[in-house]
């Protein structure tokens, strides 16, 4: 049991939500394919610690990309439901902001413990809903748990500072929460993006309303059962699945929502900024990418090939920082050709298929639209007579499966080089000088991730300082840690996820300056 202060016990007494809602929702029984295990999936909106029906009564289908079959129907939130969630979050904020930081930390640690107990189930839900390979989902869940624990440990370390100005004043700052926050998350990492928004918001004393992607709401809704079990007070976390137009825009435009965190495409991110402008919100954006992954001739070849595979084919290539532009040193044509051959042979050994099959590395693309987009890029590459190293085809006729695909000797100005594909498609571009490499690597509107593979550490650091990217991985890729900040340069975003930098996104600074008069002695 958590040991709560009198202040927090009073919270429970006061937080009897008075806004009318319609009937509480029951869960739907869902069975995982192949392993035939069953679990209970909540399908309601999670508002004020209860699963409830949408005011409109509307639902939407959630299908699995594995075989395109229906998993369940989920309640569809719109503006009315967002309004109810805002009222709940606003009421909760009045007390949650003053809950002692160590108590907020205990709540988050309890949530992490409960997720740890359910980690296998959470990973299976993620794979079923998103289509990703089970090993990818397990990676996500582990990082989610560790990130909640990181946020829990940081709750009582969000400090202001004292400022020495003169002997006649006492001047200090406080880091204070913003209020009710909104979050809109994508379908490629449903649970991970949930944690990246919820964790720092709660740690800093904010309440939150989160809209998950309509394609993948299930792991978020299931985690809400654990939020309630952890004792996190009603109204602190609210999850409202719905459309971008009906639900998402209501979050962006609501005057009582003081901050919006968005993860998604750059084009939609621009719209988010515009919609938030009318009510002057704090906005953070984690957007698209077209990241360079650089291979020097002096690299560890076996390790580098594995890093390239992780960089582009992990999560089916549906990674905003995917290393999809692979620059390989070609000063030695023999070495370059041999490297490509080994790369091709290794990629062709990867198992693609149902995430619940043993040994699957790459699962399905998540949505039918994105699946078709990937195929369209491959068609465009073939029509442009780009050289195909491997892949390039759909797998099967049911589900959204695409072969890991690599084109090589691709021009810098190619559509496949310049545009984010968001799928298992990479382009290889040779380079012969470091100056040429730097110019080409930075020739992009994006600036999210990058990779460097070399045994020469001085070279790696020299190149890293010249890359226009928010993250540079050296002899590794897609290598995340809760304490390491993640975010983009240029059109890849504003603000940072994880690390101490994330907490700045959810706080504002108050100055207190007091005149100190000389006392009468």
| Alpha-helix runs per DSSP H in 49-100 | 79-96
d(CA 378, CA 364): 16
And the tokens for 133?
Answer: 């390979």
Instruction: Identify the H or E element spanning 267.
Output: helix 266-277
d(CA 149, CA 39): 26
C-alpha dihedral sign at 124, 130, 131, 137: negative
452 has which bridge partners? 294, 474
Kind and range of the H or E element at 201? helix 190-203
Give the HSE-up count for residue 436: Cα atoms under 13 Å, Cβ half-sphere.
11
- CB within 8 A of 353, min separation 6: which ones? 360, 363, 395, 401
Burial of 176 (0-12, 13-18, 19+ CB in 10 A): middle
What are the backbone angles phi and psi of residue 66, rounded to the nearest 5°?
Answer: -65, -45
Task: Give, as one character, the DSSP assignment of residue 16.
Answer: -
* DSSP track, 321-336: T---EEEEE-SSHHHH
Q: Are 126 and 132 in contact (CB under 8 A)?
A: yes
294 half-sphere exposure, CB direction, 13 A CA radius: 31
Rounded to whole angstroms, the Cα distance separating 168 from 186 reads 52
Identify the DSSP state of 484: S
Q: Among 348, 428, 452, 340, which residue's Cα sits nearest to residue 393?
A: 348
Distance CA 348, CA 345 (A): 5
Q: Does residue 66 contact residue 354 with C-beta atoms inside 8 Å?
A: yes
Q: How far is CA 357 from CA 36, 306, 351, in A?
A: 12, 22, 10
Assess whether 117 carries a catalytic annotation.
Answer: no
Specify the DSSP class assigned to residue 361: -
- Nearest Cα neighbor of 133 from 422, 427, 401 is 401
3-state secondary structure at position 91 = helix
The two structure tokens encoding residue 189: 């990492």
In the numeric block, the tokens 């926050």 are attached to: 181
**Are 65 and 394 in contact, with CB atoms under 8 Å apart?**
no
Dump strand ranges (E) for 22-80: 27-31, 38-42, 45-47, 50-52, 59-63, 70-75
- Name the active-site residue from 286, 420, 491, 497: 286
Q: Which residues are catalytic?
A: 286
């Amino acid at each position: 049991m958590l040991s709560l202060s009198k202040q927090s016990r009073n919270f429970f007494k006061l937080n009897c939500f008075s806004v009318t809602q319609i009937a509480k929702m029951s869960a739907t029984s869902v069975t995982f394919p192949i392993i035939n295990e069953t679990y209970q999936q909540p399908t309601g909106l999670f508002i004020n610690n209860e699963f409830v029906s949408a005011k409109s009564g509307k639902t939407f289908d959630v299908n699995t990309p594995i075989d395109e079959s229906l998993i369940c129907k989920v309640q569809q939130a719109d503006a009315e439901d967002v309004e109810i969630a805002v009222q709940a979050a606003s009421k909760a904020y009045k007390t949650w902001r003053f809950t002692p930081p160590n108590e907020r930390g205990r709540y988050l640690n309890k949530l992490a413990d409960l997720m740890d107990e359910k980690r296998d189930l959470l990973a299976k839900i993620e794979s079923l809903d998103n289509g990703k390979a089970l090993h990818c989902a397990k990676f996500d869940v582990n990082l989610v748990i560790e990130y909640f624990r990181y946020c829990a440990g940081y709750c009582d370390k969000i400090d202001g500072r004292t400022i020495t100005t003169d002997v006649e004043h006492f001047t200090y700052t406080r880091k204070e929460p913003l209020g009710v926050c909104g979050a809109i998350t994508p379908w490629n990492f449903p649970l991970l993006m949930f944690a990246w928004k919820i964790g720092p918001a709660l740690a800093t004393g904010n309440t939150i309303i989160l809209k998950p992607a309509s394609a993948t709401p299930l792991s978020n809704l299931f985690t809400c059962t654990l939020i309630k079990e952890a004792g996190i007070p009603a109204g602190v976390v609210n999850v409202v699945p719905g459309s971008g137009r009906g639900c998402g825009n209501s979050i962006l435009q609501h005057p009582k929502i003081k901050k919006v965190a968005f993860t998604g495409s750059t084009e939609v991110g621009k719209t988010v900024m515009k919609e938030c402008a009318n009510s002057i919100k704090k906005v953070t954006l984690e957007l698209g990418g077209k990241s360079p992954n650089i291979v020097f001739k002096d690299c560890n070849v076996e390790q580098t090939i594995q890093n390239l595979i992780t960089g582009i084919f992990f999560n089916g290539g549906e990674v905003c920082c995917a290393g999809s532009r692979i620059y390989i040193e070609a000063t030695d044509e023999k070495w370059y050709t041999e490297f490509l051959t080994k790369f091709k042979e290794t990629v062709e050994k990867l198992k693609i298929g149902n995430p619940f099959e043993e040994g699957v590395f790459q699962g399905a693309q998540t949505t039918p639209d994105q699946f078709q987009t990937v195929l369209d890029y491959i068609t465009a590459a073939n029509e442009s007579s780009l050289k195909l190293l491997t892949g390039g085809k759909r797998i099967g006729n049911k589900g959204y499966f695409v072969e890991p695909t690599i084109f090589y000797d691709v021009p810098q100005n190619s559509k496949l080089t310049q545009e984010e594909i968001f799928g298992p498609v990479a382009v290889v571009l040779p380079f012969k000088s470091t100056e040429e490499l730097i110019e080409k690597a930075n020739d992009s509107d994006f600036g999210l991730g990058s990779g460097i593979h070399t045994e020469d550490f001085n070279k790696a650091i020299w190149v890293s300082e010249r890359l226009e990217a928010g993250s540079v991985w050296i002899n590794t890729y897609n290598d995340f840690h809760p304490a390491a900040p993640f975010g983009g340069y240029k059109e890849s975003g504003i603000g940072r996820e994880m690390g101490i930098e994330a907490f700045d996104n959810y706080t504002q600074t108050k100055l207190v300056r007091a005149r100190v008069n000389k006392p009468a002695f």
